[in-house]
Structure 1
Amino acid sequence: MELSTMPVLRITVRDGAPVPEAGGPLDAAIRTALRDPRVGRGPVTLMVHGFKYAPGVAGHCPHDTIFSEAPRAAGADPRLVSWPRHLGAVRAEADRGLHVSVGWPARGSIWQAYRGAAGAGAALASLVAAFRAADPVRPVHAIGHSLGARVILDALARSERRSLDWAILLAPAEFSATARAALASPAGRSARVLAVTSRENDLFDLLLELFVPAPRRGDAVIGRGGLSAPNALTLQLDHRDTLAALGRAGHRVAPATRRICHWSPYLRAGAFTLYRALLEGRLSFDRLRTILPEDTDPRWARLRPRRASTAGSGWVPSPQN
């Protein structure tokens, strides 16, 4: 386990299997990590990165950047923020849970990374099963960004019922048909799934549709239409009415300030606090369902805000993305 003030277990996908970065058998590493007094009875939260990250690659290793306590080179790249820190791994109270840094090879071309995410999904499913075997009662959650969401959905499709409690998909780089198939699996039907979308991500969604063949002809990515199922919700993070409703319920998230941004679902102030409330059980799935409005902004609303009747608040042109 990482030597820090946070209980973080580093797992790397090697040859399609989850391997502890510190070495040794996976089962032993899990048992040791769960015995950490800081973990207590808290949940296990599996953190899964997206495109361009890969364990052991300087400047792109998730264990040393977004999944570490103090991301290296953070001053050079504002996107490198500590996920476990923002998800509550440093809070003083007991039962803070175990945060797991899941690293997989996501460099190379987008085609290579998209295909590789399926292999990482198989490894993630094995990792989830290992945690369930070690402690069948403890909640196990997963949160992933971009292609990390594809990894989580692939793991859901391969897993047994009640394997994951929460699956939070941030700007998911995946097609709707694949997501529906994952939700129809035993693990998918028993999990609570949240797709966090944003019109800031429309350009990235379009690029995925243009360059990666859809599993079904004419299929769109999740970001265009969202997810809809009894156990799945879509939260459009730059929708004015959604932010207002969340704020009235005590979950304030800053409005969007950019027209194009792929990382907004975890860089936006208040976003991680919202995810923590879900993962820690302070905000239930049913309560979130009642909070979220039914309508959303249409695609390209942030690039054509004057034509969108409910464009996200706080829009300010910015050259950054």
Structure 2
Amino acid sequence: MPLLQIDATPLGPRLHDAAQPLLSTLRRALVRPGPVIIMTHGFKFEPGHPNACPHTHILSLAPKSGTWKAKSWPRGLGFGAGNRDEGLAIGFGWSARGSIWDAYKQAEQAGFCLADLVSMIRRVAPDRPVHLMAHSMGARVALGALPRLRAGAIGRVLLLNGAEFGTAARAAIESDAGRAAEIISVTTRENDLFDFLMERLISAPEHGDRSLAQALPQRQNTLTVQLDHPDTLPSLERTGFRVAPGRARFYCHWSTYLREGLFDFYRALLREPQHVTLSRLRAQLPDMPDPRWSRVLPWPKPGMATLPFFSRQPQARLSSGGITSSTMNQ
């Protein structure tokens, strides 16, 4: 039983489309050694939906959906190969349809359910490593679980184009479980439009707050990996991971799990954290993400001529008396 399908419900976590008690099912499933990796989706999915059920899509070992976005996360993370020590994959579904405001609210409730599920796993198998992986608004689910868990309950949290605010992430990271976990945010500038829309449509916890791509708190236990920074893919290749460049010219919300080679990296992050350490990655990868919109408006490199709105330096301007210098108001 390499994969369990579990849903967030008003009564707590429940097996998807099955009547068996969850706790007894977990006891049987956790006999197999290896890590427990809980995966959760983002906006527009809903368990049981005829066209948008995550358990027949990215959270399935064999996705039934014919869409180009239906790439099996469990397969990519090494489940279903028949290895004795492959551990347990859990696809965690929650109701993310309706409006973006409905989904954002539901994500908070799903975070409570996820915390309950992790607590159940810790009771059954207290020594097993438990990791979380989430895409888009699933990041709110994963981060929302941390303040409700004990220190050490979670090993790593892998967030792919996370749709959540920096302030909420800070509260999660500063909790007991958050301080003991490692949080890795994988981003690309291909997601800038989606981050921008989230910030405009959803009320932030604090004025001026920004999405995780720009505002993940910098701590010893956090790391931002910007895939389309010019130095990232060469750095990953030197570390042993060859990742394909993005195909989209400007925008793609799913690039953080569709690029070829990425799941080799993710599999190592979640299965071999003792070898792929944050300190090792931090020494190899760029220390700052590119600014937003730099994919559309390339950010000037040192020594390049700049457009006025890229600079805080005095700018030359033409006047009736010739060229004079003025300073832009920023």
Report the TM-score when normalising by structure 1.
Answer: 0.90
Instruction: Find 1:67's aligned residue among 56, 59, 64.
Output: 59
Q: Map 1:9-28 to 2 at 5 A.
A: 9-15=4-10, 17-21=12-16, 22-28=18-24
1:263 alignment partner in structure 2 = 254
User: Cα–Cα, structure 1 residues 268 and 309, in superposed 2: closer, same or farther, change >3 Å?
Assistant: farther
AA in 1 matched with 2:129: P
User: Equivalents in 1 of 2:131, 2:122: separation in Å?
Assistant: 11
Instruction: Find 2:268's aligned residue among 277, 285, 288.
Output: 277
Which structure 1 residue ranges, 5 or more long, are not aligned?
A: 2-6, 311-321
User: Equivalents in 2 of 1:64, 1:79: separation in Å?
Assistant: 12
User: Cα–Cα, structure 1 residues 18 and 241, in superposed 2: closer, same or farther, change >3 Å?
Assistant: same
The 3-state SS of whatever aligns with 2:23 is helix
Instruction: Find 2:29's aligned residue among 29, 33, 38.
Output: 33
Q: Map 1:190-209 to 2 at 5 A.
A: 190-209=180-199
What do the CA deviations read for 1:18-55 (whole angstroms, capped 9, x no partner)? 001222222101011112xxxx3210000000000000
Residue 181 (str. 1) matches residue 171 (str. 2) = yes
| 8 A contact 1:227–1:234 mirrored in 2 | no
Q: Map 1:104-119 to 2 at 5 A.
A: 104-119=94-109
AA in 2 matched with 1:165: G
What do the CA deviations read for 1:91-135 (whole angstroms, capped 9, x no partner)? 343201100010000000000000110000000000011111111
Q: Which moved more, 1:151-160 or 1:83-92?
A: 83-92
| 8 A contact 1:297–1:308 mirrored in 2 | no
User: Equivalents in 2 of 1:188, 1:238: separation in Å?
Assistant: 27
AA in 2 matched with 1:199: R
1:58 alignment partner in structure 2 = 50
Q: Map 1:216-295 to 2 at 5 A.
A: 216-258=206-248, 259-281=250-272, 282-295=275-288
What do the CA deviations read for 1:160-198 (whole angstroms, capped 9, x no partner)? 111110100110000000000100000000001101111
Q: Which runs of 4+ in 1 moved over 6 A?
A: none
AA in 2 matched with 1:289: R
| 8 A contact 1:145–1:170 mirrored in 2 | yes
User: Equivalents in 2 of 1:94, 1:288: separation in Å?
Assistant: 29
How big is the shift at 1:283?
A: 1.5
The 3-state SS of whatever aligns with 1:240 is coil
What do the CA deviations read for 1:3-29 (whole angstroms, capped 9, x no partner)? xxxx10010111151001222222101
Pick the structure with greater CA Rg: 2
What do the CA deviations read for 1:200-237 (whole angstroms, capped 9, x no partner)? 00000000001000001111111123341111111001
The 3-state SS of whatever aligns with 1:46 is strand
User: Equivalents in 2 of 1:294, 1:285: separation in Å?
Assistant: 12
How big is the shift at 1:286?
A: 2.4
| 8 A contact 1:197–1:226 mirrored in 2 | no
| 8 A contact 1:301–1:308 mirrored in 2 | no
Q: Which moved more, 1:222-231 or 1:47-56?
A: 222-231
| 8 A contact 2:140–2:162 mirrored in 1 | yes
| 8 A contact 1:195–1:227 mirrored in 2 | no
User: Cα–Cα, structure 1 residues 12 and 241, in superposed 2: closer, same or farther, change >3 Å?
Assistant: same
| 8 A contact 1:141–1:167 mirrored in 2 | yes
AA in 2 matched with 1:260: Y
The 3-state SS of whatever aligns with 2:191 is helix
2:38 alignment partner in structure 1 = 46
What do the CA deviations read for 1:247-291 (whole angstroms, capped 9, x no partner)? 111111111232100001100111111010011114122222222
| 8 A contact 1:16–1:120 mirrored in 2 | no
User: Equivalents in 2 of 1:304, 1:256: separation in Å?
Assistant: 17
User: Cα–Cα, structure 1 residues 202 and 16, in superposed 2: closer, same or farther, change >3 Å?
Assistant: farther
Give the root-mean-square deviation of aligned CA atoms: 1.4
User: Equivalents in 2 of 1:225, 1:243: separation in Å?
Assistant: 22
Which structure 2 residue ranges, 5 or more long, are not aligned?
A: 303-330
Q: Which moved more, 1:98-107 or 1:22-31?
A: 22-31
Q: Map 1:158-169 to 2 at 5 A.
A: 158-169=148-159
Q: Which moved more, 1:58-67 or 1:43-52?
A: 58-67
AA in 2 matched with 1:117: A
The 3-state SS of whatever aligns with 1:203 is helix
Aligned residues: 298
The 3-state SS of whatever aligns with 1:19 is strand
